[in-house]
Structure formats: C-alpha cells, structure tokens
A and B are shown apart, each in its own frame.
Chain A
Amino acid sequence: MNAWSELILILVILTNLLLVGGNRLTGLIRFAAVQGLLAGLLPLLAHSQALTARLVFLAALAVALKGVAFPLLLGRALREADIRREVEPFVGSEFSIFVGISLLAFSFWLSEWLGIAQAGWLRLMLPVGFFTMMTGLFLIISRHKALTQVLGYLVMENGIFLLGVALVGEVPFIVELGVLLDAFVAVFVMGIAIHHINREFNHMDVHLMARLKE
C-alpha cells in the first residue's frame, strides 16, 4: 500500500516536470488530467483505515472532475481557439525544467525546515504538495496563454489538495465538496472567458492585455 502511494507521488512529480517542460497545449491538458487523477486516487491509498463509502465517493468525484470533466472543458476551449502550442513562453522549456528541479529541491528543504515530523513515505507527501503548488504558480507567471494559466491554477489546486491529505488527513466532507465545486466553477468560467478573449482579440496572450486601458 505504501509502495503504491510512493509510486503515485513520484508520478505526480513527473507530471509536474512534464507540465513545466512541455509546450504542446493538448499534451499539457493531458498531463494535468493525469495529475488530477493521481491526486484524486491518493486518499484511497494514503490512509490505512478501511475504505468508507464517503472516501470512495469523494475520490470518484475528484477523479471524474479533474480527470474527465476539466480536460473536456479545456479541450473544447482549445479547439475553438484553434491554437496548438505555447509559443515563446517567458521562460524557455529547457530552463523551465531546471527551475522545476530547483523548486523540487526547495520544497524538500522547506518541509525539512518546517520540522513537521512525518514518518515513512509521508515524508515524501509534504514536499510533493509544496512542489505541485509552486509548479502551478510558476506556470501562471511564466506563460503567455490564458489556457496554460488555467492549467497552472488547476495544478496549484492539486498541490493544495495533496497538502491537505498530508497534513489534515480527513478533510470534512462539506469542505472537500465545496473546494471541488469551486474548482469546477472556476474552470467553467475560465473556459468561457478564454472563449470570449479569443473571439474578441483573436489570440489568448494574456500579457498583451496589459496594454488595454480605459
């Protein structure tokens, strides 16, 4: 059981690195979906107590939203916008991978420094949570396209989810439902926003919007 959770955490790290290093938008959406799926499955394996109906329901909901619904929504936005790649991001993909690895090292250091003593494979969970969060932030600040920034937001949400599982263990049912609903509404709204931005300006480069003034 622990070996499985460790494997999932390492796969989450790998999806983060892929997200940071890739520049084909369909691929990025797919990696984010895989990451959401992995993060959604983790609570099932993370706690050694018996599987309750509540745990299974939440995991199924998270997987359905993050692994299926979000990619579909974002994929539709992408088809309507008719773009394929993140061209010339602020930080190139080779350097981004370096940044990703440094962020990972920093997260390991941070969780040591915070001194939250954890045994066994949970030692891995906290840094991976931090790392996923920081990857999301990095995606938001280093990419032009609105779509990549939405993905960054999703990745950040995954990171917070992982931190929650690591630190709190069992988040109250209603809170988790609320968070999932928020994320769903946010992605839904942003999908529509991307559509409108694209229709208005024929692109979705966010940095060009800084020029818009009253």
Chain B
Amino acid sequence: METGLILSSAGGIAGAALAAPLLSGVINRTKAVFAGRRGQPLLQAYHDIIKLLGKGAVYSRTTTWVFRAGPVIQFSCAALALALLPMGSRPALLAFPGDFICLAGLLALMRFFLMTAALDTGSSFEGMGASREAAFSALAEPVFLLSLAVLARLTGALSLSGMASRLALHPAEGSGPVLALTALALFVVFLAENARVPVDDPNTHLELTMIHEVMALDHGGPDLAFIQYAAQLKLWIMGILVVNALGLGGRGGWACAGGMAALAVLIGIVESTMARLRLLRVPQLMIGAGALSLLALLLTLVRP
C-alpha cells in the first residue's frame, strides 16, 4: 500500500479513537431531551476517562493476573479491530479476504477476557453477569456472522473495505430490501452486544439485572477507564458496520459521521421509548434477528 493511503487509514483510526466516546454523549443527550432534562455535557465520557486514568487501582486479594490482564487485553482487541475497519471512504489499515471473521474473533476475545476477569473476582453477581453475557453473545454471534455473510455474498467482496466501498458506490440492482433486512439484523446485534436497552440497561443500578456493568464492578481507576473506553470503541465498531450495511460508510467522511450521529440518536430514541425485555424474552429477539438475516441470505441466494 502507498504511504499516502496508509496515512489516510491511520487518520481514520485516530479520528475514530477520538470520536468514539462522543457517541455515548449523543445517546445520553437524546435521552435527556426525551425526558425533558438538560442532561450531562456532550463530552462527559472524556472527562470520566481522564478522571479514572488519574486514579490509583485497588486489587482484591482473591484476584489473579487474569483480573489485571483483562482490561488491557480488551482495549488492545478493540484497538486492533479498529484497524480492520474501513472508516468513511478510507480503506482499513489491514484489509484481507475474510477479515470480517477476524473482526468477529477479536470481538469474541475481548468479550472472553471481560468475562474471565469478572469470574476471577469470585463475586456471585459478576458470575451471573458473565453467564448472561455468554448466553446472549452466543445467540448474537451467529446472527452477526450471517449478516456479514449476506453482505459478502451480495457484494462478492470478502473484505470489510471491499464490502463498504461496493455497497456505497456500486450497489447491486434491487438489493434494497435485502440490505434493509441485514441492517435491521445487524442493528439488533449492535444493541445486544453493546448492552443497550432491549437487552441490557446501561443506567440500571441493580446488580441482579445488570449484564455489562456488573462485570466491571470490581475494576477501578485506570482498569475501569480501559474497560469503558474499549466498550465505547466496540460501540463505534459495530455502529460502523451498521452504517456500512446501509451503504453510507463508503461515501466519504461526512456521510459516515452523519450516519453514526443518526445511529446514536436512534439508540437514544429506542432507549427512551422502550423498556428492556425480560431476560427470557431476549433469546426470542435474537432468534427473530437471526430469522431476518437468514431470510436475507435466502433472498441473496435466489437472486439470479
């Protein structure tokens, strides 16, 4: 690859790394507007991370190195995944055939270390959170891979960058409904994987019902900052995939940024208008999303 292209991709990654915490600010602002509050400042997430980085860490004597390694590995997985992602019209830093499977693997590794670090504390609440996270992500992952397989089949490209650019510039004739179904399935996965409302409530303060937050309860200081930042990067990564599936991603930086902002507002609206589902109903939601992506796959297979 030329140096110019590499620089441009690196610029995309830097932009994403800087802008990722802003997404949660937009989501919170939307929720505040719906509730008639003024809400926290847009840049609150940055302040939180800076504050946490300045603190010291406290480690329980029950924990081992797994607990300390967790946040670092989560952050590095998220950062690596960022390198696989095409941002706007900039291609990914690392693009190779099949990189979407590598992306799914990195996200899975990230989740694995979040769960093992939670289990390592020996707290029963964190164990419950980890078990729920495992159960729901086991349902979300097939849907995620199926949706990406639909995009690969539809565009004939096997790398995320190829998919994004073809979806934006040369969409297949009459592929609108298929893309809409895939984007919907990906959006459900996006909500489930990022602990958003129909599956998990980021504002809940009851350990019994938390999923993502409960796993980070025993982390403090820089460790918590890494976990929060990694979660924000993950929100960005999955969001980019949804925006790309709609064909907005490859149209340039502004279209991509606009798509991400619209997505954040949409999450805010979903969180303000919906209650979270009962835990027993979540598998039904994920199976519904799986049915949508399977339907999309069948439609692409039938397409001459």
**A contacts, CB < 8 Å to B:** 2-3, 6-7, 10, 13-14, 17, 21, 93-94, 97-98, 100-101, 104-105, 108, 121, 123-124, 127
Tell whether, in the assembled complex, residue A3 and residue B174 are in contact, meaning their CB atoms are under 8 Å apart. yes
Note all chain B residues with C-beta closer than 8 A to A105. Answer: 298
Q: Residues 275-304 of chain B: 1 if any A CB is under 8 Å from the residue's CB, otherwise 0?
A: 000000001100110010011001101101
Tell whether, in the assembled complex, residue A101 and residue B294 are in contact, meaning their CB atoms are under 8 Å apart. yes
Query: Does more than half of chain A's interface fall in helix, strand or loop, or is it mixed?
Result: helix
Tell whether, in the assembled complex, residue B284 and residue A104 are in contact, meaning their CB atoms are under 8 Å apart. no
Tell whether, in the assembled complex, residue B295 and residue A13 are in contact, meaning their CB atoms are under 8 Å apart. yes
Is residue B54 contacting chain A, with contact meaning CB distance below 8 A?
Answer: no
- The docked-state distance in angstroms from the alpha carbon of A92 to that of B184 is 24
Tell whether, in the assembled complex, residue A123 and residue B302 are in contact, meaning their CB atoms are under 8 Å apart. yes
A–B pairs, 10, beta carbons within 8 Å: A3-B176, A10-B177, A13-B295, A14-B295, A21-B288, A94-B284, A97-B288, A97-B291, A98-B287, A123-B302
In the complex, the chain A residue whose C-beta lies closest to that of B178 is A10
Note all chain A residues with C-beta closer than 8 A to B181. Answer: 10
Query: Does more than half of chain B's interface fall in helix, strand or loop, or is it mixed?
Result: helix
* Shortest CB distance A107–B (Å): 10
* Shortest CB distance A189–B (Å): 34
A108's contact among B177, B283, B302, by CB below 8 Å, is which?
A: B302
Tell whether, in the assembled complex, residue A17 and residue B291 are in contact, meaning their CB atoms are under 8 Å apart. yes
Tell whether, in the assembled complex, residue A21 and residue B295 are in contact, meaning their CB atoms are under 8 Å apart. no
Tell whether, in the assembled complex, residue B174 and residue A97 are in contact, meaning their CB atoms are under 8 Å apart. no
- The docked-state distance in angstroms from the alpha carbon of A98 to that of B295 is 11
Note all chain A residues with C-beta closer than 8 A to B287. Answer: 21, 94, 97-98
Note all chain A residues with C-beta closer than 8 A to B294. Answer: 101
- The docked-state distance in angstroms from the alpha carbon of A17 to that of B284 is 12
Given contacts A101-B295, A123-B304, contact A7 B288 (CB under 8 A): no
A6's contact among B177, B284, B291, B304, by CB below 8 Å, is which?
A: B177
| Given A94-B283, A101-B298, A123-B302, 5 further pairs, Cβ under 8 A | A3-B176, A6-B174, A10-B181, A21-B287, A121-B174
Tell whether, in the assembled complex, residue A10 and residue B284 are in contact, meaning their CB atoms are under 8 Å apart. no
Note all chain B residues with C-beta closer than 8 A to A127. Answer: 302
Interface size on B, residues (CB 8 A): 16
* Shortest CB distance B46–A (Å): 41
* Shortest CB distance B150–A (Å): 14
Note all chain B residues with C-beta closer than 8 A to A93. Answer: 284
* Shortest CB distance B4–A (Å): 40
* Shortest CB distance B135–A (Å): 14
Note all chain B residues with C-beta closer than 8 A to A104. Answer: 295, 298
Q: Which 3 A-B pairs have the closest CB atoms?
A: A10-B177, A97-B291, A101-B294
Tell whether, in the assembled complex, residue A17 and residue B295 are in contact, meaning their CB atoms are under 8 Å apart. yes
In the complex, the chain B residue whose C-beta lies closest to that of A100 is B291
* Shortest CB distance B205–A (Å): 31
- The docked-state distance in angstroms from the alpha carbon of A7 to that of B294 is 17
- The docked-state distance in angstroms from the alpha carbon of A11 to that of B33 is 34
Note all chain B residues with C-beta closer than 8 A to A6. Answer: 174, 177
* Shortest CB distance B162–A (Å): 26
- The docked-state distance in angstroms from the alpha carbon of A127 to that of B304 is 15
- The docked-state distance in angstroms from the alpha carbon of A105 to that of B296 is 12
In the complex, the chain A residue whose C-beta lies closest to that of B174 is A3
- The docked-state distance in angstroms from the alpha carbon of A38 to that of B187 is 26
* Shortest CB distance B273–A (Å): 18
Tell whether, in the assembled complex, residue B174 and residue A10 are in contact, meaning their CB atoms are under 8 Å apart. no
In the complex, the chain A residue whose C-beta lies closest to that of B291 is A97
* Shortest CB distance B62–A (Å): 38
* Shortest CB distance A101–B (Å): 5
Note all chain B residues with C-beta closer than 8 A to A100. Answer: 291
Note all chain B residues with C-beta closer than 8 A to A14. Answer: 295
Note all chain A residues with C-beta closer than 8 A to B284. Answer: 21, 93-94
Note all chain A residues with C-beta closer than 8 A to B299. Answer: 10, 124
- The docked-state distance in angstroms from the alpha carbon of A10 to that of B177 is 8
Tell whether, in the assembled complex, residue B177 and residue A124 are in contact, meaning their CB atoms are under 8 Å apart. no
Note all chain A residues with C-beta closer than 8 A to B288. Answer: 17, 21, 97
In the complex, the chain A residue whose C-beta lies closest to that of B304 is A123
Note all chain B residues with C-beta closer than 8 A to A124. Answer: 299, 302
